[in-house]
Amino acid sequence: MSSKTKAPRKSKTSWAGGIVLFTAAALAAGVFGLSALRAEANGVQSAPPPLPVSAIEVLYANNATIDEQFPGLISARRESALGFERGGRIDRLLVDVGDRVESGQELARLDLRVLNAQVAAADAQTAEAAAQTALARDTQERQQTLLERGHISPQRYDEVATTTRAAEARQRAAAAAADALRVQLDLAVLEAPFDGVVTARYADEGAIASPGMPVLDLVEADALEVRIGLPGDVAARLNADEVYTFRSERRAFEARLRATTGVVDRQTRTVTAVFDLDADSGAVAGEVARLSVPLSIDASGFWVPTSALVESRRGLWSVYVLQPENGDYRLEARVVETVRVETERVFVRGAVAEGEYVLSGGISRVTPGQLVAFNGGSGRSQAGE
């Protein structure tokens, strides 16, 4: 009885287990299939479209010309630190910083009372020497008459003549001393040696000026020049009295070449050239001016923007060339050599063919081998400029 009841229970249990296993397998298959579909969908979405980029067409140049810039400092042709030759108390200062003065205009003067007294004393000594000279000459004339009549010896006459010559020498010495004091009197008045502008004032009235101490700085404002150190070959190409173009931070202007030294400086290894500026050039002393000289590049190459260069290995540079591929382009890195570097462009040469397209910017957004899109209308590399 017991054996008959156990058999059906075992059969029901096996059936239920099969159903559970089938259900689990179906669920697993469904989950796996859904995961596979999601993975396939993600795989399709992970391929981004080609990135739009800008590029330029390579145009080679065999004789490109550039404007080489050589800096120099604009300065006044004449600039003087004015002072008194002898010391003394400053009696008057007639100008201040920023005043425009003319040649010969009085700028300052010392207290002249002591000098005036010395000049008066020297004049008195000169007058005394002149009186003694006149007396010696009269005496010599009388002795000449006595000599002719035989009343005195020739020796006596020679002594009188010597006394006359000594008196004349003392008179000249006294006059020279008086003239020297008058020169000192003139030098005690400070005058402008040329037209210019007072740029500094170092003393005021009442101060004691030492000999040679600067009192005022005077700059010739309307006569400016530019001194520039040039390579020897560039300086040899310049012609005297020819006009050349300069550029400062504010404007462009022209200047005429006055002369070149023709000697290479031992320290800078350059030849100094001096240019004269016109009064209406608008330049200001102290500004930096750059001389533009057209120079030829003796190399075959092409211009690219500085933004097109990519730093490569071992200090080299590369550019990204666009290689056609199924209607789009794939980026390929090519090593180039920089021949001339300017602020916004670079003259390079390398394994890039004429007519190929080079990425002109945005190099931080791309990598070699990346697929990009380009419509072919971003311009051409500059040649011959």
CATH number of 52-64+299-373: 2.40.420.20
Locate all alpha helices (DSSP H) within the chain, ordered by sequence: 2-45, 113-149, 154-187, 232-237
Cβ pair 72, 291 in contact under 8 A: yes
pLDDT in tens, the chain (385 residues): 444 444 444 444 454 555 545 555 555 555 455 455 454 545 455 567 888 999 999 998 887 777 788 999 898 888 999 999 888 999 999 999 999 999 999 999 999 998 999 999 999 999 999 999 999 999 999 989 988 888 888 999 899 899 999 999 999 999 999 999 999 899 999 999 999 999 999 999 999 999 989 999 999 877 889 999 998 888 888 888 899 989 888 788 889 999 998 898 888 889 999 999 887 777 888 889 999 888 788 788 999 999 999 988 777 899 999 999 888 899 999 999 988 888 888 999 888 999 999 999 888 899 999 999 987 655 556 544 4
Q: What is the pTM of this model?
A: 0.57
pLDDT tens digits, 215-235: 999 998 778 899 999 988 888
Report d(CA 102, CA 229) in Å as an integer.
Answer: 33
Other Cβ atoms less than 10 A from the Cβ of 308: the count is 25
Q: Which CATH architecture has domain 68-77+220-296?
A: Beta Barrel (2.40)
Cα 83 to Cα 92, 101, 195, 221, 342: the distances in Å are 13, 16, 17, 20, 48
Locate all alpha helices (DSSP H) within 207-349, ordered by sequence: 232-237
Residue 271: phi, psi to the nearest 5? -105, 130
pLDDT tens digits, 340-352: 888 888 999 888 9
296: exposed, middle or buried (Cβ count in 10 Å: 0-12, 13-18, 19+)? exposed
Confidence (pLDDT) at 383 = 47
To the nearest 10 degrees (0 to 180), the angle between helices 154-187 and 113-149 is 160
* Residue 300 identity (one-letter amino acid): S
